[in-house]
Structure 1
Amino acid sequence: MPDDISAYITHLTKGFSLQETAFSLFQAAVETELPAVLWRLPNTQHIQVLVSKKTQNTLPPLEGPTKGFAFHPFQVSETSPVKFLPADIYFCGKADEKIDVSATEFPERFWAHFQKRSQKQNAQSLQTWPQHPIGSVSAIQRDVFEQTVATAVNAMQAGCLEKVVLSRTKTLPLFEGFDLLQAFLQLTNLYPTAFVSLVAIPGIGTWLGATPEVLVQIDRHHVFRTVALAGTQPITEGLTPADAIWRQKEIEEQSLVQRYIISCFKHLRLRDYVEMGPRTIAAGNLLHLKTEYSAAMEEVGFPNLGTQMLELLHPTSAVGGMPKAAALKMINELEQHNRRYYSGFLGPVQIGQETNLFVNLRCAEVGKDTVTAYAGAGMTADSNPAKEWQETELKMQTVLRLFQASES
């Protein structure tokens, strides 16, 4: 490996587009069994990439100085541990920006594969990617899901809890010629306002997604942000967010998420925050209700507010329920699958002096020959099992529309 790594990389990527450079780094990492991630932040154009020598099983403080990418499950388990990918190699995907290599003694095999990729000008697609060691989860049939919803509704009508989010899965075979990187690129084009990501971690698996939901953000000015996002309805022809009419069920569901965030602020005794909303937003083929919260961390005297709120927020009532303990207990009793990293959270930490964590929604786990999508719906005492099934179908289409050739 040359002493001047930046000059070496510049030489290898001469004539590359920014996208080709990012994809080549990701491909070289996957081919040499190193953890890697591609992502594109909402309302931006550039694709970012990060490669690690190895993962860590704990998250650093969100306020810095450690840089990397967080990948956290819904519930931590032996098969779904916390993963943090240090930014050993990072490229922001912008013109005139160099690839940042912070690790010493990076594996020679990585540079060998990267050099091969540069010589092929990104001509070949990925043939393999990391698999989960226990394989794909079982698909949930409609009658089983609807019976589960009915059980939850009966419990809420009896006053056992206010809300619970129940999820299901759907598995399709991968069609011949499936291209993982092209699927990622399609998602970036289809959903410009979403956080689009492709995470590949040996021993954990490969996850592709386009999530609309912010969990915790800390910008370079040390402003903390989070959102309450709940309520769902499909976008129909001629319907705009300004024209949306919401049922009482969705309004109450959103209100529960708002109250939970405010309860977290109260727990920390934080009084000075800004609340904006709720308002209707479009996310792909769906409409949601969204309320935004922010606080200037230094001004309010909470320099570690992001880390503190993350501990309180996850899992939010938008993916678990209210009260939290009762909802999680019901999820563990009723759901027949392990959510793994669905409804966990993911995102860059202190990259570009900012932290952007998102709830891992509208996502799918890509196996060797199959893809498994996950989706959930918020249940209240007024929920209708058939409508909740349809809501999960709509949510799954965010990602599964890329795989519909699999069903033909």
Structure 2
Amino acid sequence: MTEDLRERIGRAEAFAAFRMPFDNEFTVVMQRGIGAFVSDSVAELAGRRGFVMVPFSLGRKWPVVMVRPDDVVRTHVPDAWGESMLSSGLCSDSGRKVYEQAFEAFHGAVSCGEFDKLVLSRHCERHLEGGNLLDSFIKACHMYPRMMVYLCRTAEGGVWFGCTPEILLSGRRSHYSTVALAGTMSVPESDTRTVEWSTKNVEEQRIVADYIRQKLHGYADVIEEEGPYTSRAGHLIHLKTVFHFTPAKTGFIPSLVEELYPTPAVCGLPKEKAKRFIEENEGYDRGYYAGIVGMLDETGDTELYVNLRCARIDGRVAHLYAGGGILPTSELEQEWTETEEKLKTIGNVFR
């Protein structure tokens, strides 16, 4: 990354840098003047263009915020990077007791039939030393070629950094896609195409796929499905179904996003009831974790992702986030281990 680009980013009122999967270039969107678009409604994004961040819980502490593309640069991902920010150590287990208590509540709620599925997440802190986040971003681009990597700074939302594998909505004109991504395992030593998935993982992904299929029918003329199949994301694998569709009308993006989000992959079913349960019982505010991040352009390319494997950077402290689906067959130790593995995705960038 050139010094000139670094200086321009530093002068910007707000910026977002992002690299799409399998791309050897990244894009920087910079806002020169004050007055970023801020709202508590996804619907108000209609007709607007820019890099958007939507929180998991609308109407609370965190607003919908959009970085206006006053200045856009697209450039090659450098082969080398400077000093990345480093962590002084692993996340502590201080949150284990809180997680255990939350797991009991979540597992009880799905086991008694109140919910088909719930997603329980947690967060932890890492203290950072030295380095520069822009270099951490370049490092992440090399570490995770299959993921969308982003770094975003706004006055309203703070600094967020992530490497997410999950598309919420991608496409342009008459060709769009979304995915149902759920179920998690570590990458096996054998061929991932022959991996055997547990009943719990298969059911978890089926719930998400059924939900997305149902929501798309009101917005699409043609829907084609691909999967489910095993998809790699860093050192983890997931079950994935891709839905390709032709929109039934123009101007559909904000309303479809409202229908899809938050999907059962990060929330639960029934959606609104599950969302309230999470807000009341998870024990912390997710912020933009499990929300939406990416470029919105109704007349061009839209690339919106679910904000997973991410961190909020507050000075020299990184707040890391991860979660997993809870079903009646879920077991505490397995779910805790899954979140530990997911935390490593963004955490390993700081090693």
TM-score by length of 1: 0.77
Within a 5 Å distance, the mapping from 1:89-104 to structure 2 comes to 89-93=71-75
Distance in 2 separating the partners of 1:377 and 1:285: 16
Contact between 1:22 and 1:49, CA under 8 Å: does it hold in 2? no
Q: Within 5 Å, which residues of 2 pair with 1:8-407?
A: 20-29=3-12, 34-52=13-31, 53=33, 54-58=35-39, 66-93=48-75, 141-175=95-129, 177-219=130-172, 221-236=173-188, 238-266=189-217, 268=218, 270=220, 272-297=222-247, 301-350=248-297, 353-404=300-351
Query: Which secondary structure state, in structure 1, belongs to the residue aligned with residue 210 of structure 2?
Result: helix
CA separation in 1, counterparts of 2:310 and 2:23? 20
Equivalent residue letter for 1:46: E
Distance of 1:185 and 1:80 partners within structure 2: 27
How many residues align structurally? 338
In 1, Cα distance between the equivalents of 2:110 and 2:326? 9
Q: Could you tell me how far 1:197 is from its partner in structure 2?
A: 0.3
Question: Do the aligned partners of 1:140 and 1:169 also contact (CA within 8 Å) in 2?
Answer: no
Structure 1's 283 and 19: CA in aligned 2 closer, same or farther, altered over 3 A? Answer: farther
1:63 touches 1:355 (CA, 8 Å); kept in 2? no
Q: Secondary structure at the match of 1:392?
A: helix
Displacement of 1:124: 9.4
Give CA deviations for 1:8-58 in whole Å, capped at 9, x if unaligned.
xxxxxxxxxx655543322232xxxx1111111111011211111231024
Do the aligned residues in 1 keep the contact of 2:253 with 2:298 (CA within 8 Å)? no
1:84 Cα deviation after fit: 1.1
CA distance in 2, matches of 1:56, 1:381: 42
Higher strand share: 2
Describe the SS at the equivalent of 1:206: strand
Runs of 4+ in 1 over 6 A off after TM superposition: 60-63, 123-127
Per-residue CA distance 1:100-136 (angstroms, 9 max, x = gap): xxxxxxxxxxxxxxxxxxxxxxx99899xxxxxxxxx
Contact 1:67/1:87 (8 A) holds in 2: yes
Supply the distance in 1 between the matched residues of 2:137 and 2:165 (Cα, whole angstroms): 16
Question: How many Å apart are 1:257 and its aligned residue?
Answer: 0.2
Q: Cα distance 1:271–1:146, how it changes in 2: closer, same or farther (>3 A)?
A: farther
CA separation in 2, counterparts of 1:71 and 1:139? 29
The DSSP-based 3-state class of the residue aligned with 1:92 is strand
Secondary structure of the equivalent of 1:353?
Answer: coil
Contact in 1 for aligned 2:220/2:245 (Cα 8 Å): no
C-alpha change, 1:19 and 1:377, in structure 2 (3 Å) is farther
Question: Which structure has the larger Rg?
Answer: 1
**Distance in 1 between residues matched to 2:84 and 2:163, nearest whole Å:** 20
SS at the partner of 2:211? helix
Q: CA deviation at 1:152?
A: 1.4
**Structure 2 runs not aligned, ≥5 long:** 86-91
Q: Retained in 1: the 8 A contact 2:320–2:343?
A: yes
Question: Relative to structure 2, which stretch is displaced further, 330-339 or 353-362?
Answer: 330-339
Q: Secondary structure in 2 aligned to 1:174?
A: strand
